[in-house]
Amino acid sequence: MNSKRIRTEADLQKSFDIRKAVFVHEQQVPEEDEFDEFDGLNGLCEHILVEQEGQAIASGRLRVVEGVGKLERICVLASHRGLGVGKIIVEGLEDVAKEKEIASLTLHGQTHAEEFYHKLGYETTSDVFMEDGIPHIVMEKELAL
């Protein structure tokens, strides 16, 4: 399993299908909140996809906000959780940030995933807040460039 940057509409659609399965169907996030103007191959975000044996199983995106890289829409299909796929996504997004010489990263992590992000070097920097009806925290990490 490896992550790859999404460069085609077909791969972008695979990412959208995973996000719809995880966020919209499983977590009940309204579809209009899940997809936004930053989606697409418009250069506003870098999207990555993880595949296993030709099947798309996870995705995420990196958006630059005021010079800080924001990891967003990180999701893994339920059938592939617990296999290290989330780490592959985060490391892939971090690699994109390094290429862009972005040292500061942030994310809004769901509280159930807080320990996962801690293991990858992220620090919690906020109290719990609600986003789309799900408890989240802000987490941050500095990359060595």
Backbone angles phi, psi at 37, to 5 degrees: -70, -10
pLDDT of 8 > 90? The answer is yes
Domain count, the chain: 1
The pLDDT of residue 141? 98
The pLDDT of residue 37? 93
Give the range of the structural domain holding residue 125, as residue numbers without chain letter.
Answer: 2-142
The pLDDT of residue 114? 96
Question: pLDDT-derived band of residue 145, with 50, 70 and 90 as boundaries?
Answer: confident
Task: With residue 138 as reference, give the H or E element that holds it.
Answer: strand 134-142
pLDDT of 79 > 90? The answer is yes
Q: How many of the other CB atoms lie within 10 Å of CB of 120?
A: 13
Q: How many of the other CB atoms lie within 10 Å of CB of 46?
A: 20
pLDDT digit string, tens, across residues 84-119: 999 999 999 999 999 999 999 999 999 999 999 999
Nearest to residue 59, comparing CAs of 114, 140, 116, 5? 5
Question: pLDDT-derived band of residue 129, with 50, 70 and 90 as boundaries?
Answer: very high
* CATH number for 41: 3.40.630.30
pLDDT of 60 > 90? The answer is yes
How far lies 135's CA from each of 50, 81, 108, 114, 139, in Å? Answer: 26, 20, 10, 11, 13
